[in-house]
Amino acid sequence: MALILAASLISAPLQADVQLPNLGESSQEGLSPLQERQIGESAMRELRRSGAMSEDPELVAYLRQLGGRLLDASGETGVQFVFFPMLDRSINAFAIPGGLVGVHTGLIVLAQHESELASVLSHEIAHVTQHHFARLLEGQKMAPWVTLAALGLAIVAASAGKGDVAMAGLMGSQAYMIQRQLDYTYMFEQEADRIGMQTLQKAGFDQAAMPTFFDRMQKNSRLGEGNAPEFLRTHPVTYKRISDAQARLKDKPYQQFKDSLDFLFVREKARFLQMDEQDALEYYRKTLSEKKYGHLPSHLYGLALAQLRAFDADAAWATLQQSKQALGKTHSSLEYLAGSIRLAQKRPSDALQIFKEASKRFPASRALVYGEIDALIANQQLSEALASAQYASELYPSDAYIWQRISKIQNARGDAVRQHQAQAEYYSRLGEYTAAIEQLQQAQNAGGGDFYLLSAIEARLKELKQELIPLK
């Protein structure tokens, strides 16, 4: 279910007793690591520009934490992975060369247990570590005129899961010709299943979740191809694959695996983000009144999110207290929502206190770091906000959204040079080097700034121009 490359190239099924070798290292001759990274970065830029990527800090942080746990278990150190959410109801996930793994919110919502979601990520990780994309290109003998940009565009179209709509946008292009040829084969899928299940076990998740999840999706697709989840259309999730995965569990004792609170709250937020304002309110009110929920605290959390988006902050606050009471304690997601509600109520001092106290209790929460900076800005404590944001930028040097906040603070302080400089760092971390260069040029022309600041800007401008060369 690595759902990135759509078409119909399925090899003959392997016999059940065939032991698949680890071919990753010896079979990537057709595509260098640098080319894989460039393809991935190109696809990532297009996905971000499409507006389909979710920037929700809690979804982003959770997927990266879950992915990191699986990577630690896999022992993979040769690829720098990035896991990111796509705001899309379709049941899909995909791996992009270079270690980029996208997960649709529809897949997160469908997962009944955390191990099921982990099984998808472990499968996608295996596709990357085994260099299936490079091996596929080599096997298809792609023509020499194929460009990395065209490959990236083909990946974007396939991962979007839009069927004919995506195809129509590619007609007549190199990307269309490539996209019609690419698909993971049965052998690659079986290899990703095998390695993925090993990773699940080492990471402390339920190995049985993979065939269970596959089987449920397969059964749900029986009504016809038009109703099949995207990954069933793009990858051969067959009963043989399911039975092969189940055979690997033979003689293994049954174990119970408890879902983390992080998963339960993130799954509910993903569900909420997929719905519009009125649908979300109606859904949560109806399911709560009918007691159709699996976890009351996270369900109440979803209602509070819906109420806040409907500009009923007071009701959201009351529902949030019910969620905390049902849980019997608090959680970083609940505290982030609490601070967000206070900001919406124009109570920035109260919001700041919530974020500060919660950050001490949940120091790993990036969302709470953002919240504290936002509350300082709302409270007109710009010097403190700048100091907090600069400290955060040192802790998280690749975080674009901290630099976006630094730019906002510098704008509020009336420092145009540093505002453009910070905005350039924001764009550079998104891989938008042209926009970053433009911002630095605006900083140079803004007037003001001492010799040392302007020299730093000039040096950074040269660095970014060098980053832009491989993209041309």
The residue type at 101:
V
Domain C-terminal end among 205, 226, 247: 247
Q: Which domain holds residue 227?
A: 33-247
Domain membership of residue 47 (yes or no) is: yes
Question: Taking residues 215-221, what's their average pLDDT?
Answer: 72
Per DSSP, which regions of 8-112 are E strands? 82-86, 93-96, 100-104
CATH number where 449 lies: 1.25.40
pLDDT the model gives residue 180 = 45
Residue 174's H or E segment, with its range, is helix 174-179
Asked, for residue 449, whether it belongs to a domain, the answer is yes
236 closest CA partner among 163, 184, 160? 184
Q: Tell me how far apart the alpha carbons of residues 393 and 11 are, in angstroms, rounded to a whole number.
A: 48
Antiparallel, parallel or unpaired: β 100-104 and 82-86: parallel
Residue 20 confidence (pLDDT) above 90: no
CB 187 within 8 A of CB 241: no
Q: Is residue 7 in a domain?
A: no
Of 52-61, 109-118, 245-254, 346-355, least confident by mean pLDDT is 245-254
How many domains is the chain built from? 2
Write out pLDDT tens, residues 170-181.
334 445 444 444
* Average pLDDT value for residue range 176-190: 58
Last residue of a domain, one of 247, 264, 290: 247
Tell me if 296 is assigned to some domain.
no
Give tens-digit pLDDT for 397-425: 999 999 999 999 999 999 999 999 999 99
> Is 11 within the bounds of a domain?
no
Q: Within a domain: residue 253?
A: no
Q: Backbone phi, then psi, for 369, in 5-degree steps? A: -65, -45
User: Does residue 72 lie in a domain region?
Assistant: yes
Most confident of 102-106, 225-229, 235-239: 102-106
Measured distance CA(2)–CA(45) in Å, rounded:
20
Report how far apart, in Å, the C-alpha atoms of 282 and of each of 90, 140, 159, 311, 356 are: 21, 50, 31, 15, 34
**Better-predicted residue by pLDDT, 27 or 252:** 252
pLDDT band at 272 (very low <50, low <70, confident <90, very high): very high
Q: Tokens 């770091």 correspond to what residue? A: 369
**DSSP H stretches of helix in 206-248:** 209-220, 230-234, 239-247
**Residue 342 is assigned to a structural domain of this protein:** no
Choose the final residue of a domain: 214, 247, 280. Answer: 247
